[in-house]
Amino acid sequence: MQIKAIVFDASGTLIDDIVTVWKANLDAYTALGFDGPQTLEDFKAVFRLPVTEFHMANGIPPDLLREVDERFRESYPQYAPDVTVFPEVEEALLALKRMGKILGVASNIPRLFLRDHLEKLGIDGYFDVITGQEDCDEHKPSPKPILATAEKLGVLPRHAIYVGDMEEDMIAGRRAEALTAGIVREKSYHPRWRLERQSPDFLISDLSELPVGFSE
């Protein structure tokens, strides 16, 4: 099947931001008198999407979900300068564009933070469409962010592949009827075994494998 578009998750796929997200969440929990995951490994073991389910699983009551999100957004900017792009990303994106692929982003990251990161890291220009948290009324593992991005790109989901590093990415991609590629890195949000149990169409170690694997 001809793959016309590649749609990417952002966190753990394009950008290395897991430490920033963990620290901002921990600050938000502490401000409200809750104990969040105290180590990065603890955070990786329990983090899931949608983030409201992660919060409730960690003891945040429904009536405080809005406040914990506000606290997270307040804390996030102080750690944001530590966010980087993964080493192979720009070269891989350039190769895909040269092959004539249409590129998009479908992420649960708040739109302001997402666009700020992509711009400051110098990769925003590669994407024809960027879909952030506020651009959809449902978030992954709902397929809506991917479906909305595919529609804006002008392609059918079955002619696209969704690339992500979490189980929920694979679930969302499958529900959207797109192909799925799970990426496994040391700084991925989910380990290999969690991705494998969702049976992605492809499992890769970095984005440099995409131009070869999806060129036809």
Same domain for 144 and 57?
A: no
Last residue of a domain, one of 60, 82, 104: 82
Last residue of a domain, one of 82, 103, 129: 82
Same domain for 12 and 50?
A: no
How far is Cα 71 from Cα 87, in angstroms, rounded to an integer? 31
Check which CATH number belongs to the domain holding 13 and give it. 3.40.50.1000
Strand, coil or helix: 76: helix
How far is Cα 185 from Cα 208, in angstroms, rounded to an integer? 13
* DSSP, res 108: S
Same domain for 208 and 178?
A: yes
Distance of CA 86 to the CA centre of its chain: 13
CA terminus-to-terminus distance, the chain? 7
* DSSP, res 200: -
Same domain for 101 and 63?
A: no
Same domain for 87 and 145?
A: yes
DSSP bridge pairs for 16: 84
- Tokens for 4? 């016309």
Same domain for 45 and 144?
A: no
Q: Where are the alpha helices (DSSP H) in 58-161?
A: 65-79, 89-98, 111-120, 144-153
84-85 and 15-16 strand pairing: antiparallel
Number of domains in the chain: 2
Same domain for 92 and 192?
A: yes
Question: Exposure string (b/e) for 162-193, b if CB count within 10 Å is 16 or more?
Answer: bbbbbbbbbbbbbbbebbbbbbbbebbbbeee
pLDDT value at residue 112: 86
Same domain for 49 and 156?
A: no
Same domain for 93 and 162?
A: yes
The range of the structural domain enclosing residue 132 comes to: 5-17+83-213
pLDDT value at residue 2: 79
Same domain for 54 and 98?
A: no
Same domain for 27 and 115?
A: no
Same domain for 131 and 98?
A: yes
The tens-digit pLDDT sequence of the chain (216 residues) is 678 999 999 999 999 999 999 999 999 999 999 999 999 989 988 999 999 999 999 999 999 999 999 999 999 999 999 999 999 999 999 999 998 899 999 999 988 889 999 999 999 999 999 999 999 999 999 999 999 999 999 999 999 999 999 999 999 999 999 999 999 998 999 989 999 999 999 999 999 887 544 444
Whether a cis peptide bond, with omega within 30° of 0, leads into 143 is no
Q: Which residues contact 165 (CB under 8 A, 6 or more apart)?
A: 9, 11, 12, 13, 182, 183, 184, 185, 188, 189, 190, 195
How far is Cα 47 from Cα 21, in angstroms, rounded to an integer? 10
